[in-house]
Structure formats: structure tokens, C-alpha cells
């Protein structure tokens, strides 16, 4: 249906998100003008629909930095212990 196929070289169909929440009611019609290029495509998808929220990205980055710091600290401790033992 619009998913594309990598092996066949078929690109997926483009998706655009309407910038407002629309409430539907029974037997109700509405016409709305919408310029799909008014908002950049990468900014259109609401955060509630994203699998990975912006705050989660920040938290993951912070966790990764903490892990790197721990790894570097342990490596430095090992190096200092080895140097200390060799100088004894």
C-alpha cells in the first residue's frame, strides 16, 4: 500500500501531517485549506505520534555520556594502579 520495497527500488509514499487536531462529529462536513509545505516535513509529525520522543533522545544521550565517563574513569584507575605497582 505505500510502504515501498527496497529490493524493487520502490520508494514509500510521502506522508504529511495536518497541523491541528480535528474533531469529527456525525453528519458533519468541513472544508479546510492546508498548505502541506508551510511547515517543514521533519517538523510536522506531532511528538505524541513519534516512537522516540525528544526528551528520550536527551536522556539516552546523557546515559551514554555517563557510561563513557565511567569507562574512562575505570580505565584511568587501572592505569594508575599498574603504574603505582610498577613504581613500588
Whole-model pTM: value is: 0.46
Mean pLDDT within 29-41: 88
Which position has the higher pLDDT, 36 or 68? 36
Say what the pLDDT of residue 63 is: 78
Flag whether pLDDT at 1 surpasses 60: no
Please give the pLDDT value at position 41: 87
pLDDT digits (tens, 9 = 90+) for 36-64: 999 998 888 888 787 776 666 677 777 77
DSSP 27-87: T--------TTSS-HHHHS-GGG-SS-HHHHHHHHHHHHHHHHHHHHHHHHHHHHHHHHHH
What average pLDDT does range 3-27 have in this prediction?
Answer: 87
Nearest to 53 by CA among 65, 45, 62: 45
Amino acid at each position: 500500500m505505500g510502504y515501498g520495497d527496497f529490493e524493487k527500488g520502490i520508494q514509500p509514499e510521502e506522508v504529511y501531517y495536518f497541523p491541528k487536531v480535528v474533531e469529527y462529529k456525525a453528519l458533519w462536513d468541513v472544508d479546510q485549506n492546508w498548505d502541506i509545505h508551510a511547515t517543514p516535513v521533519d517538523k510536522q509529525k506531532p511528538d505524541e505520534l513519534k516512537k522516540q520522543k525528544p526528551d528520550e533522545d536527551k536522556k539516552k544521550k546523557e546515559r551514554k555520556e555517563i557510561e563513557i565517563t565511567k569507562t574512562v574513569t575505570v580505565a584511568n584507575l587501572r592505569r594508575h594502579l599498574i603504574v603505582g605497582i610498577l613504581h613500588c
